[in-house]
Amino acid sequence: MGVLSESLTQVLIPVAALIGIGFALLQWFLVSKVKVSAHYTAPGDEYSKSLIGDSDMENGVHGHEVTIKCAEIQNAISVGATSFLFTQYRYLTIFMGVFGAIIFLFLGSVKGFSTKSEPCIYNIGNLCKPALANAIFSTIAFLLGALTSVLSGFLGMKIATYANARTTLEARKGIGKAFITAFRSGAVMGFLLAANGLLVLYISINLFKLYYGDDWEGLYESITGYGLGGSSMALFGRVGGGIYTKAADVGADLVGKVERNIPEDDPRNPAVIADNVGDNVGDIAGMGSDLFGSYAESSCAALFVASISSFGVSHDYTAMSYPLIISSMGIVVCLITTLFATDLFQVKNAKEIEPSLKRQLLISTVLMTAGIAVVTFLALPSEFTLYDSGTTKIVKNWQLFFCVAVGLWAGLVIGYITEYYTSSAYSPVQGVADSCRTGAATNVIFGLALGYKSVIIPIFAIAVAIYVSFSLAAMYGIAVGALGMLSTMATSLAIDAYGPISDNAGGIAEMAGMSHEIRERTDALDAAGNTTAAIGKGFAIGSAALVSLALFGAYVSRAGIKTVDVLTPKAFIGLIVGAMLPYWFSAMTMKSVGSAALKMVEEVRRQFNSIPGLMEGRAKPDYANCVKISTDASLKEMIPPGALVLLSPLVAGTFFGVETLAGVLAGSLVSGVQIAISASNTGGAWDNAKKYIEAGASEHAVSLGPKGSDAHKAAVIGDTVGDPLKDTSGPSLNILIKLMAVESLVFAPFFATHGGLLFKLL
């Protein structure tokens, strides 16, 4: 037994989650002090007075008018994002009902819907709850995971649309104030999401326990449905949001910047509101659901593997809850880390923004390493046994510490390498910008090469993490390694959400007609946000690789496969088809963005040509029509890629059996990780190469600029090609690998009993 008692563990986990929620609400309160309405200011309210400012003249627009304009634009973005998400959730509610029924029918049919107790699979000699109970509770867990995922995305979007105009208005006082507002808002999302995920999982386990009692094997097997629910919603959120945001972005850029030569986020551009709405539904809501899905799955994989170890057999609740205790410690560590950015080291100028955000990653990793050491020695017995695929392995607690720590530090390495390849401060992006001298073709060639090259070190980092974790603690080591990478999720989410909030703030500044100086400040925030968004995607992809490997191990164990032999035709055909699936999926999502963007370009051109006085600024564009095009396209186009991912494991397992499905999972993991990293980094590099030329901060950048030059136009084309890569296909691929693995694990009892129909007939 570890030092921590069961009763203390039962208290500490929910307390940590509530601290996270409390801290998020505090940050929300601090952000809400910035007023966005131009009503009469109370005599003592100096804060609002200084913000609205009577003498503040912005480009000839009175300070009050600027505030009113900001409030109007913020409202339009918020209404657009909310209506899109509600429409999307209506579709997803139908999906949840249908897929919940499939889970129940498939798992219930394993033993013909019998209500008799079954002999346990791992805890030999004992009786476990009937298969029907597993079907019912897996379905409930699936619905809980799906609802938490949807809530995570929705809360994130609400916070971002609440904070964007406040960041713009704070930029009038200086870049430091604007940075703190954007970062605090990101922290609200990060902490709410991390704490909600932990709290719902903790409550679910305790409620399920009321029925399952001592049958921990059945309890934690049914909990895996939570991960499946979280990830299936994340897939639709990422794909739907990604198609929405990129259709608007590509349409706005191609017609506005390239053809009409007007600035980004110019209010004359009909697609500008749809573009800003897209930042919130794709980069914020989709990203929130995605990281929540990763967290839910890595927790479920670790809990399932632990339940069939000596923890589960001896009913050591504290050791069993080790994954949850790591997440609890993560919330506390991230809380301390956040204070470094908002209170201890405040940003004074544009050059300090990126270092401040990078420091967040480093501080949280160092503190978390110490936190993991404390948790490991308090929660775990000094020695325990893992039963993995029929073999037993004796593991010491210090070995598990190294498993979590290696995952955590691999995450940092991936984050920093991603930053090196996507930040305009370093030579790779500067090289891509330089290639724009000779046109868009060389820019595309250099950008693709950069993306492929950026895969090398992250893959080695993941490989080292896998080798160390597996040799020390088998599949359990890999599962907690993935949790280690995600343990600082609140901080990485805060950094990630900061990007789209800053991007929106810049758009609002441009649309409200604020001065060039304000726009420069928001651009500086946005450029750093672009890099941090790439870092966030790197984390999501790296953790997805470890999570899906852990889920793969759990699936192999649950399906009763002793070894996966690549030389057998059943496994090899699975392997080669699995490796193809990420390409098929990418083709679908890229084409969806292309066809939606085509409609958007035609609509924007039509408005410029048919609305008299639009280019001169005398008439208003029809923003609503562009929002409608994006909404309709994304809802229609998100279904085929989603169906591909969800049906592949069901078809492979039912018709070809468990060995072929094991091959499919291995193939999709190996190829999906590579494509996801290169797609995200290529797109990020093209975007920042364009911003590098626009900012003109160095002699080299000045020689390529200014905006509207041939080199800049080539950079805009590169950025446009990269948009669907970095915001639709790339980030959605990590959900593909995780979702297929967790789905296979949930349906493993069915596949093991009834799978391989085709081979049985032959």
| SS3 call for 226 | helix
Q: How many CA atoms lie within 13 A of 658 on its CB side?
A: 23
| SS3 call for 318 | helix
In which band, very low, low, confident or very high, does the pLDDT at 56 lie, cut at 50, 70 and 90? very low
Cα(750)–Cα(743) distance, integer angstroms: 12
Decide: 736 and 580 in contact? Cβ < 8 Å. no
Main-chain phi, psi angles of 395, to 5 degrees: -125, 140
Backbone Cα Rg of the chain:
26
pLDDT in tens, 656-708: 999 999 999 999 999 999 999 999 999 999 988 998 998 888 889 889 878 88
- Per DSSP, 41 falls in state P
Cα(487)–Cα(468) distance, integer angstroms: 18
Look over the chain and give the mean of its residue pLDDT values, rounded to a whole number.
87
Mean pLDDT on 166-178: 90
What's the pTM?
0.89
Determine the pLDDT at residue 538.
Answer: 82
Cα(237)–Cα(226) distance, integer angstroms: 17
In which band, very low, low, confident or very high, does the pLDDT at 388 lie, cut at 50, 70 and 90? low
Query: Which has more confidence, 396 or 53?
Result: 396
Cα(67)–Cα(74) distance, integer angstroms: 10
The amino acid sitting at 700 is H
In which band, very low, low, confident or very high, does the pLDDT at 607 lie, cut at 50, 70 and 90? very high
Preceding amide of 267 cis, omega within 30: no
Cα(479)–Cα(49) distance, integer angstroms: 52
In the chain, pLDDT over 90 holds for what percent of residues? 45
Alpha helices, DSSP H, located in 696-729: 699-704, 710-724
| SS3 call for 648 | helix
Residue 390 structure tokens? 């029929």
Alpha helices, DSSP H, located in 423-455: 427-434, 440-453
Angle formed by the axes of helices 175-212 and 489-511, to 10°?
Answer: 140
Cα(370)–Cα(230) distance, integer angstroms: 30
Q: Is the pLDDT of residue 61 over 80?
A: no
Determine the pLDDT at residue 725.
Answer: 92
Most confident of 241-245, 312-316, 366-370, 616-620: 366-370
User: If you write DSSP's letter for every residue of 379-429 in order, what string do you get?
Assistant: HS-SEEEEEETTEEEEEEHHHHHHHHHHHHHHHHHHHHHHHHHH-TTSHHH
Determine the pLDDT at residue 44.
Answer: 37
Q: Is the pLDDT of residue 474 over 60?
A: yes
Determine the pLDDT at residue 367.
Answer: 95
Looking up tokens 């409930």 gives: 140
Of 419, 552, 415, 551, residue with least CA distance to 483 = 551
Cα dist. 632→87, 134, 158, 595, 637 in Å?
A: 10, 38, 21, 12, 8
What residues have CB less than 8 Å from 694, skipping those under 6 apart?
A: 523, 705, 706, 707, 712
Neighbouring CB atoms inside 10 A of 90's CB total: 10
Determine the pLDDT at residue 671.
Answer: 95
Determine the pLDDT at residue 53.
Answer: 36
Of 330, 727, 337, residue with least CA distance to 537 = 727
Residue 467 structure tokens? 């080798």
Alpha helices, DSSP H, located in 253-286: 272-278
Cα(84)–Cα(402) distance, integer angstroms: 44
Cα dist. 96→146, 237, 331 in Å?
A: 8, 13, 30
| CA angle, residues 503, 509, 510, in degrees to nearest 5 | 95
Query: Which has more confidence, 121 or 618?
Result: 618
Longest dimension (CA), the chain: 86
Lowest-pLDDT range of 56-60, 489-493, 568-572: 56-60
In which band, very low, low, confident or very high, does the pLDDT at 46 lie, cut at 50, 70 and 90? very low
pLDDT in tens, 319-368: 889 999 999 999 999 999 999 888 788 888 878 888 888 888 899 999 99
Determine the pLDDT at residue 54.
Answer: 34
Determine the pLDDT at residue 58.
Answer: 43
In which band, very low, low, confident or very high, does the pLDDT at 1 lie, cut at 50, 70 and 90? low
In which band, very low, low, confident or very high, does the pLDDT at 40 lie, cut at 50, 70 and 90? very low
Cα(436)–Cα(713) distance, integer angstroms: 8
Lowest-pLDDT range of 216-230, 552-566, 583-597: 552-566
Q: Is the pLDDT of residue 39 over 50?
A: no
Determine the pLDDT at residue 389.
Answer: 57
Intra-chain end-to-end CA distance of the chain, in Å: 52
Looking up tokens 């809380």 gives: 335
In which band, very low, low, confident or very high, does the pLDDT at 215 lie, cut at 50, 70 and 90? confident
Determine the pLDDT at residue 2.
Answer: 63
Determine the pLDDT at residue 527.
Answer: 79
In which band, very low, low, confident or very high, does the pLDDT at 390 lie, cut at 50, 70 and 90? low
Cα(610)–Cα(613) distance, integer angstroms: 9
Alpha helices, DSSP H, located in 615-657: 623-637, 639-651
Determine the pLDDT at residue 257.
Answer: 79
Q: Is the pLDDT of residue 531 over 70?
A: yes
Q: What is the sign of the dihedral through the CA atoms of 360, 365, 371 and 375?
A: positive
